[in-house]
Chains A and B, each alone.
Chain A
Amino acid sequence: MKNYIMITNNPKVIQNYREEEISVVSLDKIEKIFTTSRDLIHKGYILVTHPLAGSIKPYQNPYRTIILKEGEELDYDSLKNFENSFKKYKQFEQNKVKINNLSQKILDDYQVIDLSLIESAIQSIKKNT
């Protein structure tokens, strides 16, 4: 999986995947994860996982992981899927009323969900590469 890159703010994802397996970019904010992914897509990377992974509502899970793969030229499907998702994310961001003081248990649960979605994606990638 050398040509794959994972962009995340989820400590459990960072803990679970070693650099020798897949490149991991650790960022703090979801917004940055989106903009970094967008920059990579414009440089020719292909979107591997859907940016709105899971049906925990897009504005709800404070953790997000996106996987991309090196490519040759701009992939318009990746760009379309990405831009649609980013637009939806920003729409919810605007409406969002912050949920403060989430307990460590809840934060932990969110991390587990994001990790499980990414594990399911990694398994699928390994089967097909």
Chain B
Amino acid sequence: MKLELGKVQINDINFGDSTEINNNVLSINKEELFKNINGNDEIESIDIQLVKPGDSVRIIPVKDVIEPRIKVEGSGGVFPGVLSSEEIVGSGRTLALKGCAVVTTGNIVGFQEGIIDMKGPGAEYTPFSKFNNIVINCEVKDDVPQHEHEEIVRMVGLKASTYLAKAAKEVEPDTIDVYENKPFYEAANQYPDLPKVGYVYMLQSQGLLHDTYVYGVDAKEILPTTISPTEIMDGAIISGNCVSACDKNATYVHQNNPIIEDLYERHGKDFNFIGIIITNENVTLADKERSSSYTAKLAEQMGLDAAIVSEEGFGNPDADLIMNCTKLEDKGIKTVLITDEYAGRDGSSQSLADADPKADAVVTAGNANEVITLPKLDKVIGYKKTANVIAGGFDGNIEEDGSITVEIQAITGSTNELGFNKLTARGY
């Protein structure tokens, strides 16, 4: 499977008469975009605003962030099984609009999480403050249940992204990267002297507001399986997740998984990147046992010497993380885990809800309990009151001067466990 990923740089966005890209500027026909996403009778209102890096704007609560992409050659289409057919994707050519994103917001549950500040100290904690964002606030009728509401907003975001990406169809990309995923046997023989490394990609799948979809299938219903990195780049994995803002994987992060990019970067140099196993994070311990055993079995069948394991979310997925780790290690497959920490505000408490001596190589994406004060910004898109009840927010945290004090877990993507975040640790 070989995918050419063409990158069309978007340096600015504006509303115009037609949706098109000229000289790296994306113009959007607002009315046409509205028509393309407003297809559900349960929708009460849709508001579309453009927000740019440095704007004095706070977006809250963020539901999803999506990068507009379009498939111009090869089978299937972006977001297979959801907005395109069930055909297998990951081959041919796909174009991505870099530097811009669709951000959806909507008050699905009263305590919903997720802040993107486009300016100030908060902007430094979220990777999404650096993009030209098309922000869509979608409201539904009062009697729409939460799960339907989530689905409506999820689809609005995906449709908006698909509509905008069409503008790139005839545009020559600024750069083209080629990603190839060979059959396992060929891949293993390509660099026989290098260690065979795989990636275990954990997907949140516990229930309402905690879901991820693979080719349109709810990930809680899957057995762990293999997937080509290029399928993921074509939108085979999408987020249906409204909780754990700091460490959920927005659809944008799946599309641009930095672990996959780094594995490709060092493939053939330091190791032989063989492939990816996706697995879930379910509610019952029996499901966790089954999925982790199956993951370890697949890794063994792939002949892996080592695996990187990334977690999504926090709490009970810590049990999945440790089960994946110990079962891989028991088969002689070395592991490196990527997680984040809930180590208390002073960082002195135990970081995870599970641990094992075999988990001796762990990368942290940061301590989600750290506290930050975000100053007042001129404009809020969404619901300012939400800040009082989101994770990490606490009663009375909106000060008279309009500033809010929250744990950084309230900020979208602040401790992303794929490393798609801004935090790092340095020794001095």
Residues of chain A having any CB pair with chain B under 8 Å: 47-58, 60, 67, 77-78, 81, 84-85, 87-88, 91-92, 95, 97-103, 105-106, 109-110, 112-113, 116-121, 124-125, 128
In the complex, B83 has a CB within 8 A of chain A: no
Query: Smallest distance from the beta carbon of A80 to chain B beta carbons, Å?
Result: 8
- B204 close to chain A: CB less than 8 A: yes
Please determine whether B353 and A84 come into contact, CB atoms closer than 8 angstroms: yes
Which of A100, A102, A120 is within 8 Å of B283, CB to CB? A120
Q: Is B208 an interface residue (CB 8 A)?
A: yes
| Those of B97-114 within 8 Å (CB) of chain A | 109-111
Residues of B with C-beta under 8 A to A53: 206, 283, 315-316
- The size class of the interface chain B forms with chain A is 35 or more
Contact: B285 with A50, CB < 8 Å? yes
Inter-subunit contact B354/A55 (CB<8 Å):
no
If the complex has contacts A99-B389, A124-B284, are A52 and B208 also in contact, measured as CB distance less than 8 A? no
Known A54-B206, A95-B369, A100-B395: A84·B111 in contact at CB below 8 Å: no
**A33, B278: Cα distance in complex, Å:** 33
B206, B354, B388: the one within 8 Å of A117 (CB): B206
A49-B283, A109-B109 known; 11 new pairs, CB 8 Å cut-off, are A47-B285, A50-B315, A54-B283, A55-B314, A57-B244, A97-B394, A100-B395, A106-B389, A109-B146, A113-B109, A120-B206
Write the residues of chain B forming the contact surface with A, with a CB cutoff of 8 angstroms: 109-111, 145-147, 204, 206-210, 220, 243-244, 247-248, 282-288, 313-319, 342, 344-345, 349-350, 353-355, 369, 388-389, 391-395, 409
Question: How many Å from the CB of A32 to the closest CB on chain B?
Answer: 20
Q: In the complex, A101 Cα to B409 Cα: how many Å?
A: 22
Contact of A116 with B286 at beta-carbon distance under 8 Å, contacts A57-B314, A81-B354, A88-B350 already known: no
Contact partner, B345, options A47, A51, A95, A121, Cβ 8 Å: A95
- Chain B residues within 8 Å of A55, by CB: 204, 206, 210, 243-244, 247-248, 313-317
- Contacts of B392 on A, CB cut-off 8 Å? 57
Contact assessment for A128 and B286 in the assembled complex, using a CB-CB cutoff below 8 Å = yes
Closest to A80 in B: B354
Q: What is the interface of chain B mostly: helix, strand, loop, or mixed?
A: loop
Contact call A57/B286, Cβ cutoff below 8 A: no
Give CA–CA (A88, B317) in the complex, Å. Answer: 13
> A55 CA to B391 CA in the complex, in Å?
10
A100 to B369, CA, bound (A): 20
A54 touches B243 (CB 8 A): yes
Decide yes or no: A57 and B350 within 8 Å by CB, A48-B285, A50-B288, A84-B355 being known contacts: no
* Cα A10 to Cα B19 with chains together (Å): 49
Contacts of B206 in A (CB 8 A): 53-55, 117, 120
Residue pair A54, B315 in contact (C-beta under 8 Å)? yes
A91 to chain B, nearest CB (A): 5
In the complex formed, the residue of A with least CB distance to B314 is A55
- Contacting residues, chain A, for B110 (C-beta < 8 A): 102-103, 105-106, 109
Give the most central of B247, B345, B389: most A CB within 10 Å. Answer: B389
Are A112 and B353 neighbours in the complex by a CB distance under 8 Å?
A: no
B409–A57 CB distance below 8 A: yes
The 6 lowest CB-CB distance pairs between A and B, nearest first, are: A106-B110, A116-B208, A50-B316, A55-B313, A52-B315, A109-B109
**CB–CB B345/A88 < 8 A:** no
B283:A124 contact, CB within 8 angstroms: yes
A56 in contact with B146 given A88-B350, A110-B111, A113-B208 (CB within 8 Å): no
